[in-house]
């Protein structure tokens, strides 16, 4: 059983623009892969269909056995518990400190405060921000904010993590560290799908790469092919 499956998915925005056309692929449990393509190729749209910021116009997006077309109303929030999202613009709450931002998904889940504090501490250590737990987002660098966003996305150990250009604001050393962190998630059962147009990074990571061109999936490159 795949974690995620796109079956001939197309997305046409209300403007009439066809952002995705007939896209099909599957993600296995514990797999890490990238989606790439030039600006406007449809990478963000593809991720939005997974966390239900947008809906497919045709075809089916399946998350495990669940057809996302049927996930409506209150079930959207439940679905989002299973999908961790790292946004390009972080989307942190500016009036809450780092620890509160990271712990928020666990609060929404009704987890006990003591357990939340433990998990938050552990995940902040992983992203190298343990010392900044009490800082507010406005006091952090762009790269640090990015890492808070990543910590928040992985704190609830989702089945799938989707990240849109997660290393955009980070220097090369930090990018490498964050990607190494992503690459370690599959061992703990989280599949990872990252949108990136950084070809150097894709080559270094040696993971499967989906290539979009004008909304069509034009290549699906295995790690072996990438190494050649
Ligand atoms: N809400 C929207 N309404 C209309 N068109 C949109 C909307 N969002 C995106 N598009 C268009 O759909 C196409 C795909 O956009 P998308 O953001 O998915 O591309 P992308 O590959 O992520 O690009 P980038 O690398 O620049 O972020 C673009 O031509 C974009 O202008």
Question: Ligand 1 centroid to 18 CA: how many Å?
Answer: 9
The pLDDT assigned to 198 comes to 87
- 192 close to 208: Cβ distance less than 8 angstroms: no
| pLDDT for residue 178 | 82
Pocket lining: 48 vs ligand 1, CB cutoff 6 Å? no
Probe residue for ligand 1, chosen from 10, 16, 17, 201 as the CB with the greatest number of ligand atoms within 8 Å? 17
Domains of the chain are 4-91+158-227 (3.40.50.300)
For residue 207, the 8-state DSSP code is -
Query: What's the confidence (pLDDT) of residue 166?
Result: 87
pLDDT at 224: 87
**Any ligand 1 atom below 6 A from CB of 38:** no
pTM of the model: 0.92
Question: Which pLDDT value is given to residue 219?
Answer: 97
At 187 the pLDDT is 82
Return the CA Rg of the chain.
17
* Alpha-carbon dihedral sign for residues 150, 153, 157, 162: negative
- pLDDT score at 13: 97
Q: What is the pLDDT of residue 76?
A: 93
pLDDT tens, the chain, 228 aa long: 899 999 999 999 999 999 999 999 999 999 999 999 999 999 999 999 999 999 999 999 999 999 999 999 989 988 988 999 998 777 899 999 999 999 998 998 889 999 999 999 999 998 889 999 999 999 998 889 989 999 999 998 999 999 998 887 678 887 888 888 899 888 878 999 999 988 888 888 899 999 999 999 999 999 888 877
- Ligand 1 touching residue 41 (CB < 6 A): yes
The answer to whether 39 and 197 have CB atoms below 8 angstroms apart is: yes
Q: Which of 84, 158, 148, 144 is nearest to 120 (CA)?
A: 148
Q: Give the position, in ligand 1's atom list, of the atom nearest the Cα of 197.
A: 25
User: Are the beta carbons of 23 and 37 closer than 8 angstroms?
Assistant: no
CA 6 / ligand 1 centre spacing (Å): 18
* pLDDT for residue 175: 83
- Does ligand 1 lie within 6 Å of residue 173's CB atom? no
Nearest CA to 200 out of 152, 169, 167 is that of 167
Q: What is the pLDDT of residue 54?
A: 97
Question: What is the structure's pLDDT at 75?
Answer: 92
Expressed in angstroms and rounded, the spacing between residue 26 Cα and the centre of ligand 1 is: 22
Taking each helix axis from N to C end, the angle separating 172-184 and 142-154, rounded to the nearest 10 degrees, works out to 0
Q: Whose CA is nearest to atom 16 of ligand 1?
A: 42
| Dihedral angle of Cα 104, 108, 113, 114, to the nearest 10 degrees | -80
208-213: strand order across its sheet:
83-86, 160-164, 191-195, 32-36, 208-213, 216-221
């Amino acid at each position: 059983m795949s974690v995620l499956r796109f079956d001939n998915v197309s997305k046409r925005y209300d403007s009439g623009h066809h952002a995705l056309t007939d896209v099909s692929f599957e993600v296995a449990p514990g797999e890490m892969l990238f989606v790439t393509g030039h600006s406007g190729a449809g990478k963000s749209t593809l991720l939005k269909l997974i966390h239900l910021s947008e809906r497919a116009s045709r075809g089916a997006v399946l998350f495990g056995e669940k057809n996302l077309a049927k996930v409506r109303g209150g079930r959207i929030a439940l679905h989002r518990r299973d999908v961790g999202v790292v946004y390009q613009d972080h989307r942190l709450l500016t009036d809450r400190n780092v620890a509160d931002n990271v712990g928020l998904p666990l609060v929404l889940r009704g987890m006990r405060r003591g357990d939340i504090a433990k998990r938050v501490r552990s995940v902040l250590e992983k992203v190298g921000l343990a010392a900044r737990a009490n800082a507010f987002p406005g006091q952090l660098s762009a790269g640090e904010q990015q890492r808070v966003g990543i910590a928040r996305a992985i704190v609830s150990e989702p089945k799938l993590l989707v990240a849109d250009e997660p290393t955009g604001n980070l220097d090369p050393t930090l990018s490498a560290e964050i990607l190494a962190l992503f690459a370690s998630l599959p061992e703990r059962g989280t599949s990872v799908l990252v949108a990136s147009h950084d070809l150097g990074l894709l080559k270094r990571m040696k993971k499967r790469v989906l290539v979009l061109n004008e909304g069509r999936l034009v290549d699906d490159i295995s790690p072996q092919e990438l190494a050649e």
